[in-house]
Amino acid sequence: MGGEVKRIESIKNMAVFQEFRWASSVRDGGNNIAEFKKINILYGRNYSGKTTLSRIFRALETGSISDKYISPEFKLSFDDGSNATPNSLNSHGQVVRVFNEDFVRDNLRFIVDDEQTINSFAILGEDNAKLEEEIEKHEAELGSEEDRSGLLGDLLGAEDKFKEARKTHGDKLSELEGKLRDKANKAGTGIKHNKSFGDANYNVPKLKTDITAVTRDTYSPLTDEQVGKFHDLLREEPKPEIPESSPFNLQYSVIASKAKELIEKKIQASDPIQELLNDAALATWVRTGRGHHQGKRDQCAFCGSDLPPDLWEKLDKHFNQESEEFRQALDNLLGTIESERSRVPNLLKIKNSDFYSNFTTDLDFLVEQLSTQSTSYCAGLDSIKEQIEHRKDDIFTPLEFDEPESFEDALNAVRDSFEQVRNESNQFTASLSADQSEARAALRLHEVHTFINDIKYEGECTAIDTLNAAMGKAEEAKNTAKEKVDSKRAKINELKAQLKDESKGADRVNDYLNNFFGHQSLSLKAIEENPEDVSSGYRFEVTRDDKKAFHLSEGECSLIAFCYFMAKLEDIETKGNQPIIWIDDPISSLDANHIFFVYSLINAAIVKPKNFLQLFISTHNLDFLKYLKRISNDYKGKGNKRIKIREFFLVERSGDASQICLMPGYLKNYVTEFNYLFHQIYKCATAESIDDGNYHEFYNFGNNARKFLEIYLYYRYPNGIEGDDKLLKFFGEDSIPAIFTDRVNNEYSHLCGVFERGASPIEVPEMKTVAQQIISKIKDDADQYSALLQSIGVKDDLLEKDFNKTQEAG
């Protein structure tokens, strides 16, 4: 666990940090998310939130956070992938040391109440050479992270191998997960978006469930024919219910029976005319002619001869009532046959469009059968018809009825088959939704089966399992190496505990006071709590000229507190453990010399000997920031590669909320508040509108403008002119801009006499006008104005462009 801190991912409900998000705030010029480095310098004005940040880090040191915060939230991420939150303050695995006002209050109660003492601490003693020799031996075996030697070197190597194995495994796993993610829900090609079998809620977990299903031995892949049928099924829309077809009520049996009866029936004339009996054609001709002559003519219409008087009587005896009735029966049967034959084409209408596509094959077969059987049925009727007509032509001669093969049952069987298909289709409508769901599931699994074969899923999983096993072994080796390091450190601490000497802690503080700050008279004194009990311990007192000191100045308090912190970095709990160090504004109430000495002490005791894992220094003092720029930015990394280890940040407050961002180039490069204030005014002067991105510039405009004009006018008129007179002199004879500027500066900077301004909306147009008036007057000195623009990284003067556009429009 642990490592260097990469980011403060988020802060919520902690003083001026209410909804801070690192990823949206701390970005470089290329819009890339920046991160902490080995040495981090943070600049911010008073009340901007620097101490709040230090309290987050102190919570990592003490394991608790102030109960004054209501529901505080924060998250720190380390370079090894671990995180720290208010719920996991003790799991980061790093030694953390923080200097801030809480450290001073907890350890140096004397500074708050001179009746109190200062907490003592133990550093290594100087009298036990044998123990020291043993400690040196164990420390040599422990080795150094810097040189990657000894057990620490082994641990670093094991950690590197573990990180590499974890990265290799993670990359391979991520690669497979990416393929699964794309297959599950990538726009256009993912299963989620497939119109046939997609699922609006389909995701990677569902895909993995499907993969489990298709890799079982019980899964059978679909054939191309099955896939086609399932797609056809999914294209089906629910169809209306198909009504029952009308029964055929075929008359073939009745007709055949009647035909047999009539064709084979015997009849005879009362007094037959032999010649007519012998010649059926003649008999037909006579019978027909009888109808044209009897009761109509006396002469033959064919030959013109007179008709004999007894002709009609002879013919009546030949064509008697029985034969005529028989003839009528034959005609009636022929009509029945014709009627039956005309019914056949309309017995059954089969429309494929009424059915689902999966019934097409069956329907086509039924159409073919219907046509075949109908043709055969009609042929049978035609045969009967032909035999009836033959009997009709020779009515007095019985014939033997040749009954054709009956296709009545075959036709009825076609209807029965149709009814079966119709019922199945209607049932299919009822089950269509469920069947389509099954089809979608089958097609989806088929798609998944094809996918895992294409990407060689089984081989990928095997490779990932192999890499996971290798990562497990690497982690086991790392843990073993860490156990050896922890065991060795425990042994060293055990030996150091036998050497610790609390009296030496005060001596180390005095070394810093005397050697770096020249305070010969001010010192710490170690006093035994109980001189008669050696194990009773010590307490520290501040003395001046060997007497207990009272009424220390604020500067003296700051020096003692910081020297105490620096000396405490060498106590037995800290020394050699490469701590993460946060130093919050250590130069309170110190003069310029002492500020430089504070920087020198940090550089000499922490930075140069590299007695830290990561260093954070926050300040509001530009002089101190100027010195901090001198801290080396080069560091020899792996393979002697020189890397940049320093980063500068700005803690900026807008109203009631603060944010962290990368320090602007001009503030980092020039280290002067004058450039910073000029940039803020210039941005107000050139802003087209107020939004979330520039709101704080207008909110802080009053303070920024007041401080800028104080600095600018002090050097422009260093002869004691009063403030209002300086404004009038600066803006010239026209006093309106000066009065306008003074009102904005005072009302928005101090709320002078206008308390309600604190609850009123910001007058953006007023501020922009004032900002433009200030910039306009500065431009009178073209060289200085150009230099100021260059210092804030502005190449093209936006105000000049606006002025040119206005001139062109005019």
Q: What is the CATH number of the domain that holds 68?
A: 3.40.50.300
Does 639 lie in the same domain as 540? no
Q: Are residues 3 and 66 in the same domain?
A: yes
Looking at the chain, the whole-number percentage of residues with pLDDT higher than 70 is 82
Q: What's the average model confidence in pLDDT over 185-194? A: 86
pLDDT (mean) for 330-342: 92
- Judged against a pLDDT cut of 70, whether residue 636 lies above it is answered with no
Residue (of 768, 808, 765) closest to 686 by Cα position: 768
Query: Does the pLDDT at position 70 exceed 70?
Result: yes
The pLDDT of residue 562 is above 80: yes
CA-CA distance, 799 to 543, in Å (whole number)?
Answer: 61
Q: Does 569 share its domain with 614?
A: no
Q: Across 340-439, where does the E strand assignment appear?
A: none
DSSP symbols for 596-631: HHHHHHHIIIIITTT--SEEEEEES-HHHHHHHTTS
pLDDT of residue 271: 47
Range with the poorest average pLDDT among 320-329, 448-457, 614-623: 320-329
- The pLDDT of residue 304 is above 50: yes
Residue 500, classed as helix, strand or coil, is: strand
Q: Is residue 434 part of a domain?
A: no
For the residues 216-224, what does the mean pLDDT come to? 91
The dihedrals phi and psi of 301, each to the nearest 5 degrees, come to -70, -15
Q: Is residue 571 one of the residues assigned to a domain? A: yes
CB-neighbour burial class of residue 142 (10 A; exposed 0-12, middle 13-18, buried 19+): buried
418-427 mean pLDDT = 91
What pLDDT does 807 receive? 47
| pLDDT score at 326 | 83
Which of 40-44, 261-265, 303-307, 767-771 bottoms out in mean pLDDT, i.e. has the lowest? 303-307
Paired sense of beta strands 614-619 and 39-43, if any: parallel
**Do 794 and 680 share a structural domain?**
yes
Q: According to the model, what pLDDT value does residue 21 have?
A: 94
- Mean pLDDT of the 228-239 span: 83
pLDDT of residue 537: 66
pLDDT at 762: 47
DSSP assignment, residue 571? S
The total number of structural domains that make up the chain: 4
Output the pLDDT for position 752. 40
Stretch 40-64: mean pLDDT, rounded? 92
Based on the number of CB atoms within 10 Å of its own CB, is 501 exposed (0-12), middle (13-18) or buried (19 or more)? middle
The answer to the question of residue 44 being in a domain is yes
Phi, psi (rounded to 5 degrees) for 508: -70, -35
Q: What is the pLDDT of residue 751?
A: 40
Please report the pLDDT score of residue 802 as a whole number: 60
Clarify whether residues 43 and 82 are in a common domain.
yes
For residue 52, pLDDT beyond 90: yes
Q: Is residue 560, in this structure, part of any structural domain at all?
A: yes
Q: Which value, in Å, is the radius of gyration of the alpha carbons in the chain? A: 55
Residues 735 and 793 both lie in one domain: yes
Using left for φ > 0, alpha for ψ between -120 and 50, and beta otherwise, residue 628 falls in alpha
Regarding whether 694 and 778 lie in a shared domain, the answer is yes
Averaged pLDDT, 517-528 = 73
% of the chain surpassing 90 pLDDT? 31
Predicted local confidence at residue 54, as pLDDT:
94
Among 522, 545, 575, give the residue marking a domain's end.
575
- Note the pLDDT of residue 344: 92
793 or 743, higher pLDDT: 793
Check pLDDT > 50 for residue 754: no
Q: Does residue 306 belong to any structural domain of this protein?
A: yes
Give 39 or 797, the one with higher predicted confidence.
Answer: 39
Q: Whole-structure pTM over 0.85, yes or no?
A: no
Give yes or no: residues 643 and 750 share one domain: no
As a whole number, the mean pLDDT across the chain is 82
Can you give the pLDDT at residue 679? 86
277 pLDDT exceeds 70?
Answer: no
Are 763 and 644 contained in the same domain? no
Last residue of a domain, one of 613, 630, 663: 663
Q: Name the most confidently modeled range: 105-119, 134-148, 684-698, 796-810.
A: 134-148
d(CA 747, CA 701): 11
Place of tokens 């109509």: 296
795 and 701 within one domain = yes
Res 710 pLDDT > 60: yes
| CB-neighbour burial class of residue 726 (10 A; exposed 0-12, middle 13-18, buried 19+) | buried
For residue 502, what are the CA distances in angstroms to 30, 120, 349, 574?
Answer: 52, 6, 112, 14
Could you tell me if residue 625 is inside a domain? yes
Contact criterion met (CB below 8 Å) for 603 and 631: yes
- What confidence score (pLDDT) does residue 514 get? 81
- State the pLDDT confidence band at 487, using cuts at 50, 70 and 90: very high
Query: Does some domain include residue 265?
Result: no
Residue 759 has pLDDT above 80, yes or no: no
Of 754 and 712, the one with more pLDDT: 712
- Range with the lowest mean pLDDT among 37-41, 139-143, 308-312, 696-700? 308-312
Domain coverage including residue 559: 502-575
At residue 694 the predicted structure's pLDDT band, cuts being 50, 70 and 90, is low
- Could you tell me if residue 142 is inside a domain? no
Instruction: Please indicate, yes or no, whether residues 623 and 527 belong to a single structural domain of this protein.
Output: no
Residue 794, classed as helix, strand or coil, is: coil
Residues 772 and 673 in one domain: yes
Q: Rounded mean pLDDT of 78-82?
A: 88
For residue 465, name the pLDDT band (cuts at 50, 70, 90): very high
- Return the amino acid letter for 290: R
Q: How far apart are CA 334 and CA 382, in angstroms?
A: 10
| pLDDT recorded at residue 772 | 85
Last residue of some domain: 292, 319, 346? 319
Q: What is the mean pLDDT of residues 322-336?
A: 85
Q: What is the DSSP letter of 796?
A: S
